[in-house]
Amino acid sequence: MKIFYSEGHRQHNPPFEVFDGGERVPYLENPDRMDKVLAALRKTDWAEFAEPSDFGLDPILAVHDADYINFLDSAWTEWLAAAPEAESASDKSAILPATFALRRKPRVPKSFLGRAGYYMMDLSAVIVEGTYKAALASANCALSAAQFIATQVPSTANRPQSAFALCRPPGHHAGKDYCAGYCFINNAAVAANWLSSKGKVALLDIDYHAGNGTQDIFYDRADVLTISIHADPDFEYPHFIGFADETGAGAGLGFHHNFPLPAGTDDAAYLAALDKALELIMVYGPWSIVVSAGMDIYDGDPLGKFKVTRDGIREIGERIANLRLPTAVIMEGGYANNALGKNIGTFLEAMK
Where do the domains of the chain lie?
A: 2-64+128-351
Average pLDDT over residues 111-140: 95
Can you give the pLDDT at residue 99? 85
CATH topology of domain 2-64+128-351: Arginase; Chain A (3.40.800)
**Which DSSP symbol is given to 287?**
S
What value does the mean pLDDT of the chain take? 94
Residue 271 to residue 193: CA distance in whole angstroms? 27
Pairing, β 2-4 against β 48-50: parallel
What is the Cβ-side half-sphere exposure of residue 11, based on CA atoms within 13 angstroms? 14
- Residue 121, class by beta-carbon neighbours within 10 Å (0-12 exposed, 13-18 middle, 19+ buried)? buried
* Other CB atoms within 10 Å distance of the CB of residue 319: 15
Can you give the pLDDT at residue 2? 97
H or E segment to which residue 328 belongs: strand 327-331
Can you give the pLDDT at residue 101? 83
Can you give the pLDDT at residue 228? 98
CB 60 within 8 A of CB 69: yes
Residue 69 to residue 105: CA distance in whole angstroms? 20
The answer on pLDDT for 82 being more than 60 is yes
pTM: 0.95
Residue partners of 265: CB distance under 8 A and separation at least 6: 231, 306, 307, 308
Can you give the pLDDT at residue 91? 60
Can you give the pLDDT at residue 161? 87
Q: Give pLDDT tens digits for 302-341.
A: 999 999 999 999 999 999 999 999 999 999 999 999 999 9
Can you give the pLDDT at residue 103? 65
> Which residues are marked as active site?
173
Can you give the pLDDT at residue 95? 93
The answer on pLDDT for 242 being more than 90 is yes
Partnered with residue 342 across adjacent β-strands are none
Q: Give pLDDT tens digits for 54-67.
A: 999 999 999 999 99
